[in-house]
Chains A and B, each alone.
Chain A
Amino acid sequence: MIQKAVMLCLGMALSLSTLSAQQCDLVLRGKVLHLENNQPIEAAYVWLPESSIGVATDANGNFTFRNLCPGKKTIQITFIGHKEIKQSIQLSAGTSNLTFKMEEEAVALSGVEVHGHREAVQTTTAVSTLYGEALLQSRGESLGESLKRVAGVTTFSTGNTISKPVIHGLHSNRILILNNGIRLEGQQWGAEHAPEIDPFLADELTVIKGAETVRYGPEAMGGVILVNPPALPTTDQSKTELNLVGHSNGRAGNVAVSHSGGSNIIKGLGYRIQGAARRAGNVRTPQYFQGNTGMSEVSGSAALGYSSTKLGTEVYYSYFTTQLGILRDSHTGNLSDLLEIIENGAPFTQADFTYTINNPKQVVTHHLAKVKAHYHLNPSWKLNFQYGFQQNNRQEFDRRRGDLNARPSLDLELFTNTAELFLEHNLKSQWTGSMGLNLIQQANSNLPGTGVTPLIPNYDLVNAGVYLMEKYLKGPLELEAGLRYDYRTLSAARYIGNDLQEANLNYQNGSAFLGGMYQLNANLAFTSNLGTAWRPPNVNELFSQGLHHGAAAVELGDADLTSEKSLKWVNSLEYETKRTSIELTGYTNKIQDYIYLNPTGETFVSLRGTFNVYEYLQADAFFYGFDLSGTYNFSDHFKGYAKGSIIRAKNTETNRYFPFIPSDRMDWGLSYEFGKDTERQNRLTLSQVLVAQQSREPDFDLAPAPPAYSLVNVGFSKKIQLFKHDFSVSMQVNNLLNTEFKEYMNRFRYFTADMGRNFQLKLNYQF
């Protein structure tokens, strides 16, 4: 039923996009970029003297003039610290698309602004960014939860505290997360291992939906998530932001502070410090508390940067630590325990509210430090260097007897070094591009003393890559292509009982992409990107052997697995008018030798009872799907939005479905803005989330897919001036009707219903 509704609504939203061609209405679109680094310039002023109209560029450097008459026009672009552009253009029928590159002023005038050097995403594939108001709405949520706001992104979660982003059906090691430009390297292979990052450090979360292996290295098969902090100030200006978030469900509290400033003594020197803390207790479903689902988290980051006209440097450090309680009843002793609780559909343990976190639990700490520098060899060529160091410690505690209870059953320490050297060019002609070298070194150790044979071995990994990318930009057309070659070695060792197990493995692969963007007319743009990606098998897929505690499963790795290779084709159509904006993305992803955990159907008997046996297998897979998102302004006050996504994934060898592929879903909402002055500072929102039942289930699952569900959320936000600064208050109620539901993509659907009604209060003050 809901599935039908999803389809219907998607269809309706599509039909809204009927184009209306108007007579003699010319449109001029353009993009303003920094010549030296191709980054968009925000707030450059674009002026048409003949028509006496002007606009400022947006965050992506874009500007649009509408309703222009044909003829010769002068265009004038100014931006502080840059040479003015004055150009004559001929406007004829349709749309004109122009790109302007502004050169920095060589003369050091007083008050010249040295701009921050922030990396902008330059890609022709589908990109969605969460920032500003939308990001503010998501404050206090984990990275995975926040990104659910992007069409095509869902989560693969383990209860309410652990959620991993899923892009177009792929997650874990098949997507990449970049913390300020450095690949986040934790123990991402585990389904219950959440990314070690707090979105509070970012002022922008970007999702790239294409296969971006060439740019970012292996494993970026499903997509890339960029968690970007704001650019460092380069002038003597300071900004402080304070966030307070409270949730009724779990009685969670969240505080986050960030402060950035620039030096007035040393021009171009800027800094930023940021910290956040979060505490939550047991989560409540509509009927009961989930025992031991509290969490606590502390994170922070600091950055110091110096920018001069030619040199830009940045030192960055981020810290993240969390303690996560795992639902007590999800940790089962054997298969009959597991089946009993699945049949019960709810935990047996009656829990009350508490903040106390007992075993089973996870304690994870992540340090990331990076140094970055770039040097402008000349206005067209730039040399970049980036080095990152990461340390990840993961401890997982089970319920154990005696002294062992205080000792982790899994105690991993992972060091990662990443180094990148690349040369970018941005020629005054239409060509831009980069070439570079990329090195990843990783060392994983099991810390002794767990009293458990390690799930994965100790290993050393080195990955070296070289790449080349080139982009051609002319008017409405952008074309881009790239090539990359990677070589990886892996040497692993571990004791199983008294036997030393060793393995030395090598993998190598080439990858390539070709992409383009074409502005069809004033309102319609088309992008297409075809990219190959590869992913070497992960250590757990190669070497798992033994009992997965709590999951009542014995998992068997296979050291002979080969690399996965994928070919992803993403197409997207963007339509934008004053009232309507629609984005439709369609993709196919053909993955050769897709690695998956297959139930063998066998059981294994021990003194502890019976366990299911799973093994890692490879098969060819085919994924395809659509994402649709759109907004429509009914009036100045009244807005509506809808978005949805559909994914299909099949094992093309057996023609069967894979487990844990998101079901069809959509959400839509209405907002009404009102207020005394023109700024309309009050906003009322109503939204509904519709999730269909996953009818494409694999042959084996412990429990059938949960039924479809619908959730209603309401919110009210108000912006006021407090001591002459922006203060915003927002109140949201999620799951207003306290609907009991289970989400197919939540591994805890076997044990418990999902979160019930949750009142949220969010305060944000910027000064």
Chain B
Amino acid sequence: MAKAKTLILRAPGTNCDRETAFAFAQAGSQVDAAHVNELLRREKLLSDYQIMVIPGGFTYGDDISAGKILANELRLKLGEEIRRFVADGRLILGICNGFQVLVKAGILPELSPPLTLAGNDSGRFECRWVYLRVNETSPCIFTRGISTMYLPVAHGEGKVAVAEPGILNVALYYADETGNIQAGYPYNPNGSIDNIAGICDASGHIFALMPHPERFVRWSQHPRWTREPWKEYGDGFRIFLNAVAWAKSI
């Protein structure tokens, strides 16, 4: 079987790179973390990898708006490499700040309507666990075989907002315990339109979400593991297994 190689892209202010790398390694991938400068200087090449991940953090301080500066850097300086990477059918995952970067770099959504991640309706940074429901009709590679998840969010700018109504490739919704995807705050922690928690492209190869799957790969990361039956691994781990399995098949 082919090997899967994952690139974790770091930039000043990235802060979830290590746990994301750990999740991919546990899922059976070879993992490299690279500073964006190493890609710009061509010391590392995107084309050597099957999966590219933009992990969580506050790249460049989230100054101006979350993810904006890294998004421009990717769009203006690495646009061609990324287009080729996508055209080759490889996988891109953006988590939290990575979602913000992918959107602001114009990589997602690939068709209109224009979308952004705006400040949470509460006006506050929110660190809390959310129930998620997977859109099972979505082509998303990462969420295959998953119907619900329980994961933490931690962000101040996670509200999906659109300029005009249109059709989006929604992969993941905020829900309540029963799976109702119309539940309001705090189930929907940021006021996202239509309770959108994650989107993908039409091929299902590019996936971006606000919740942090890498923060729930072992069961004792669950906020109530001391009072619930033990499980082998956390809900987020499936996402990494799916990605690595697909990458090995390329």
| A and B interact physically | no
